Amino acid sequence: MKHDILGEQIKNARLHKGISQEQLAEMLNCSSRHIMAIENENKKPGYWLLYNLIRTLNIPADTIFYPERHNMPHKMDIAID
């Protein structure tokens, strides 16, 4: 199974903010089990939940929709090498 970048990004952002799965679930009006499934079981959130996750956790949307851009060295870094 392919590594789940979305779940990892959400989990990292949540932990960075010091929010538990239970707290995040309460903030988003969903179950903590649902948050756990998104973070750890490759479950994909619906549009509105994804929107609210991005807003609540201050995740830049382009890191969600274009993760390959953030996993590649920056052009300037390549030019310097």
- d(C-alpha 72, C-alpha 52), whole Å: 27
**What is the domain-level CATH number for residue 14?**
1.10.260.40
What residues make up the domain containing 67? 5-80
pLDDT at 68: 74
pLDDT in tens, 21-80: 999 999 999 999 999 999 999 999 999 999 999 999 999 988 888 877 765 555 544 455
pTM over 0.85? The answer is no
Number of domains in the chain: 1
